[in-house]
Amino acid sequence: MRFSAGRPLLRRAPIRRAFYERPTEEVARDLLGKILLRSDGEGTVAVRLTEVEAYLGIDDPACHTFRGRRTARNEVMWGCAGHLYVYFTYGMHFCANIVTRGAGVPEAVLLRGGDVIEGEALAVARRGGKRRGLLDGPAKLCQGLALTREQNGVDVASRVDGIWIVDGDPLAPGESIETGPRVGVDYAGEAAGWPLRFRLSGRVRD
């Protein structure tokens, strides 16, 4: 396994909350290569994050909290950093975000994709046996990690709820961070083109 060097994943401490309290674009970029762990009765799945998008709160037309919109659904985004914002969309999919900044500043980073580095069999089973493009989309990521409305609001800066993020290993040789426009937000006009999507490119499996 390529990323097994260093301290065993389950022994690594969760990344502290201060990491998430920084500017959202920095958090998004720095989340690439980090490892999201989900541990429950079924087992443990570890995912190395390879694609994320930043959503910049009340001034971002693509963001659920644009113009200060505050509803039961997006309430978690208004809370403190380091919590998971999981929402349901298109009538059949879940997407997961990590809340950034601080209470009252509703910004977040959408988790768009990652590579499974542990617990692949479980992730594949949750994806209905489909191994191809295993977690290469936000809804697939949620499905592989069994993230649903029930995980909305979970604190990823702590292991108590079984979902947390730890440091990954350094970028592999040939890997680089690619920036581009966000996906699926054409309705947001000019903001759809803002370079807020970050992706690890040059991976072996690309």
Partner DNA sequence: GACCAGATGTACT
Partner DNA sequence: GTACATCTGGTCT
Measured CA angle at 136 (ends 155, 22), to 5 deg: 40
Non-local (6+) Cβ contacts of 96 within 8 A are 84, 85, 86, 110, 111, 138, 141, 142, 145, 147, 151
Which lies closer to DNA via its Cβ, residue 53 or residue 155? 53
Q: Are 123 and 147 in contact, with CB atoms under 8 Å apart?
A: no
Residues numbered 127 to 146 that lie near DNA (CB under 7 A) are 127-128, 130, 133, 137-141
Which lies closer to DNA via its Cβ, residue 171 or residue 183? 183
Count CB-CB contacts under 10 A for residue 85: 27
CB of 78 vs DNA, minimal distance in Å: 12
Which lies closer to DNA via its Cβ, residue 28 or residue 166? 28
Residues numbered 92 to 111 that lie near DNA (CB under 7 A) are 92-93, 95, 97, 108, 110
* DSSP single-letter state for residue 195: S
73 near DNA (CB under 7 A): yes
Residues numbered 158 to 197 that lie near DNA (CB under 7 A) are 183-185, 187
Q: Which stretch binds DNA (CB under 7 A): 21-29, 38-46, 70-78, 198-206?
A: 70-78
User: Residues binding DNA: what is the number (CB under 7 A)?
Assistant: 35
Helix, strand, coil percentages, rounded to 5, for the chain: 25, 30, 45
Radius of gyration of the chain (CA): 16
Which lies closer to DNA via its Cβ, residue 91 or residue 104? 91
- Residue where the block lists tokens 């617990």: 119
4 near DNA (CB under 7 A): no
| CB-count exposure of residue 176 (10 Å: 0-12, 13-18, 19+) | exposed
CB of 98 vs DNA, minimal distance in Å: 11
What is the binding site for DNA (CB under 7 A)?
Answer: 53, 55, 62-64, 69, 71-74, 87-93, 95, 97, 108, 110, 127-128, 130, 133, 137-141, 149, 183-185, 187
